[in-house]
Amino acid sequence: MTIRTRFAPSPTGYLHVGGARTALFSWLYARKHGGKFILRIEDTDLERSSQESVNAILEGMTWLGLEYDEGPFYQTHRFDRYKEVIQQLLDQGDAYYCYCSREELDALREQQMANKEKPRYNGKCRTAEAADGERVVRFKNPDHGDVVIDDLVKGRIVVANKELDDLIIARSDGTPTYNLTVVVDDMDMGVTHVIRGDDHVNNTPRQINILKALGASLPVYAHVPMILGADGARLSKRHGAVSVMQYRMDGYMPEALLNYLVRLGWSHGDQELFSVDEMIQLFDLEKVNVSASTFNTEKLLWLNHQYLMNSDPARVAHHLSWHFGELGIDPATGPALTDVVLAQRERCKTLVEMAEQSVYFYRDFDSYEEKAVKKNFKAGVEDVLQHLWSRFDSLSGWQPEALHQVVIDSAAALELNLGKVAQPLRIAVCGCGVSPAIDQTLYLLGKEKTLDRIARAIEYIKQHC
């Protein structure tokens, strides 16, 4: 049997981290077992679904690298098929028309609640004669027996059919409801494993009964726990960035987010860092925790820093380039991005930090950092910078070792400690008091920019200090 999993988001917003984790678990399971991963867009909520949200989901999946083997399939393209199945259920006697008004249903609900009964449809129209007028279609749920779910995460779940009412599978305008469309899609697409959030547990017995009525094979279910914020509430916008693409905007590597998400509810001993290949090899649904996981932004930040420090610099540079574009900077106007990554990765925890703290390599600055100037640009410092300018100008090569030696030799010649030479130089060429090692900074800037900026700093000191 070929394993077939699916990710089926509703395009009513962005791709959130909870959905991304579900997609990741489904993707990993398919990849581990040599199966197929299907993307399905459940867009039957015509009022709330939008193409913008579809694009956001597709963009998020692409950025995370969760490539799908089939799809995307759109439910709005399959209305004829749903109509056909609804008619089949009617013809079989497994569904019926319901003519109850909203007022009748509200009154029934109020009465049941007053009697401290579980609100549920009472099956009034099961034997009603066919008639014209407004009507919905309900699935005739079995009256007896149990639905048994051997959930790969939660274990065995048993639900008595008498606890389930006859759910609506087609609205009065003829459009199908979620519980019908998801069943038909899983059946037609041959889905073998349904991996989804445990907020769907209550839907599962109803969907199994519909599948049985259609004579379909039952998939294996795995309901993964919710993701909570630090306050114990379900993760939401108020907890911060919950959109996958917001994490891209905030400077996270996609691999770091994947690594963090796979560890939300799953573990492999004490191991924290996983390559994608390791995730595929080691992931096991039966080792997913039953309890909810808490999202910890500080842990994600730590993980991202590990990826910045240890990933292939070319991979980091690929993502860093996008952030330079967001700053309006063309990386071709300065040093190779891989060299910038190597110089900055120990100090920067996000790609945003790395880009913002590397702007001076690509773009001239208009002013100097006030605090740094006050501390380091004093009368007489122009002579130090002039000495450095002359030594740098006479260099035939421009390598970190030679640049480092110039700074050391200049400090000795001027009888100053190294900081009194390197720090004014750093502010002169960067505009601020923080940068990578001074020799690496000068090397990345190049000879022309270094000399131009030292000369400008000398003039600034003469005029203002």
What CATH number is given to the structural domain containing 218?
3.40.50.620
- CB of 407 within 8 A of CB of 421? yes
- 192 and 262, same structural domain? no
Which structure tokens are listed for 393? 């100008």
For this structure, is 349 an active site residue? no
Q: Please, are residues 434 and 371 in contact by the beta-carbon 8 Å criterion? A: no
- Residue 201 and residue 106 in contact, taking contact as beta carbons nearer than 8 Å: no
In a domain? residue 30: yes
Domain that holds residue 82: 78-224
Do 69 and 84 fall into the same domain? no
**Residue 307 domain-assigned?**
no
Residues 196 and 296 in one domain: no
pLDDT score of 292: 93
Residue 306 lies in a domain: no
Residue 247 lies in a domain: yes
Q: Are residues 154 and 250 in the same domain?
A: no
Residues 238 and 175 in one domain: no
Judgement on whether residues 66 and 86 belong to the same structural domain of the protein: no
Tell me, yes or no, whether 180 and 297 share the same domain: no
HEC string of the chain equals CCCEEEECCCCCCCCEHHHHHHHHHHHHHHHHCCCEEEEEECCCCCCCCCHHHHHHHHHHHHHHCCCCCEEEEEHHHCHHHHHHHHHHHHHHCCEEEECCCHHHHHHHHHHHHHCCCCCCCCCHHHHCCCCCCCCEEEECCCCCCEEEEEECCCEEEEEEHHHCCCCEEECCCCCECHHHHHHHHHHHCCCCEEEEEHHHHHHHHHHHHHHHHCCCCCCEEEEECCEECCCCCECCHHHCCCEHHHHHHCCCCHHHHHHHHHCCCCCCCCCCCCCHHHHHHHCCHHHCCCCCEECCHHHHHHHHHHHHHHCCHHHHHHHHHHHHHHCCCCHHHCCCHHHHHHHHCCCCCCHHHHHHCCHHHCCCCCCCCHHHHHHHCCCCHHHHHHHHHHHHHCCCCCCHHHHHHHHHHHHHHCCCCHHHHHHHHHHHHHCCCCCCCHHHHHHHHCHHHHHHHHHHHHHHHHHHC
Indicate whether 388 belongs to any domain: yes
Tokens of 78: 């399959």
Task: Report the relative pairing of strands 227-228 and 293-294 from DSSP bridges.
Answer: parallel
The total domain count for the chain is: 4
Residue 439 and residue 388 in contact, taking contact as beta carbons nearer than 8 Å? no
The alpha carbon of residue 176 and the mean position of all alpha carbons in its chain are separated, in whole angstroms, by 30
Distance, CA of 335 to CA of 359 (rounded, Å): 11
Q: Could you identify the residue written with the tokens 């993307």?
A: 39
Taking Cα atoms as reference points, which of 428, 436, 433 lies closest to residue 388?
A: 428
Q: What is the pLDDT of residue 241?
A: 61
- Check residue 169 and give its pLDDT: 98
| Residue 15 amino acid letter | L
Q: Are residues 100 and 146 in the same domain?
A: yes
Name which of 281, 280, 284, 262 is nearest 272 in CA terms. 262
| pLDDT of amino acid 13 | 86
**Are residue 178 and residue 147 in the same domain, yes or no?**
yes
**Catalytic residue chosen out of the listed positions 118, 154, 212, 237:** 237
Same domain, 274 and 379: no
User: Are both 61 and 130 inside the same structural domain?
Assistant: no
Candidates 225, 139, 235; CA nearest to 179 is 139
Distance CA 78, CA 283 (A): 33
Q: What is the identity of the amino acid at 173?
A: D
- The answer to whether position 461 is within a domain reads yes
Are 88 and 138 in the same domain? Answer: yes
Structure-token pair, residue 443: 């090397």
Report pLDDT for 464: 86
The CA-atom distances, in angstroms, between 159 and each of 84, 224, 276 are: 29, 19, 38
The CATH number linked to 391 is 1.10.10.350
In a domain, 270, yes or no: yes
Q: Show pLDDT as tens, one digit a residue, over the chain (465 residues).
A: 899 999 999 998 899 999 999 999 999 999 999 999 999 999 988 888 899 999 999 999 999 999 999 999 999 999 999 999 999 999 999 999 999 989 998 888 999 898 888 888 998 999 888 888 899 999 999 999 999 999 999 999 999 999 999 999 999 999 999 999 999 999 999 999 999 999 999 999 999 999 999 999 999 999 999 999 888 888 876 776 679 999 999 999 999 999 999 999 999 999 999 999 999 999 999 999 999 999 999 999 999 999 999 999 999 999 999 999 999 999 999 999 999 999 999 999 999 999 999 999 999 999 999 999 999 999 899 999 999 999 999 999 999 999 999 999 999 999 999 999 999 999 999 999 999 999 999 999 999 999 999 999 999 999 887
Neighbours of 173 (CB within 10 A): 7
pLDDT of residue 364: 96
Q: List C-alpha distances in Å: 113 to 57, 93, 120, 426.
A: 40, 30, 10, 74
**Nearest residue to 340 (alpha-carbon basis) of 372, 371, 325, 318:** 318
Amino acid letter, residue 333: T
pLDDT score at 362: 97
